[in-house]
Amino acid sequence: MVERRCGYVLNVASAAAFLPTLCLFVYAATKLHVRSFTPAMHSL
């Protein structure tokens, strides 16, 4: 991607990013980070 100066990155998050549960709060937090990281990288 660097050599071609274009490309795509596909970030996959689960429904836990939208509906976190108490039992899986660490998992949900990592998925939420992926969900918020993607638009931040797109704006660069």
Q: How does residue 30 score in pLDDT terms, banded at 50, 70 and 90?
A: confident
Domain boundaries, the chain: 9-44
Instruction: Give the model's pLDDT for residue 25.
Output: 87
Specify the DSSP class assigned to residue 21: -
Show Cβ contacts of residue 17 under 8 Å, excluding neighbours closer than 6 positions: 28, 31, 32, 34, 35
What is the pLDDT averaged over residues 30-44? 83
Cα distances (Å, whole numbers) of residue 14 to 9, 20, 36, 38 = 16, 10, 13, 14
Q: How does residue 14 score in pLDDT terms, banded at 50, 70 and 90?
A: confident
Q: How does residue 41 score in pLDDT terms, banded at 50, 70 and 90?
A: confident
Q: Quick check: 3 pLDDT over 80?
A: yes
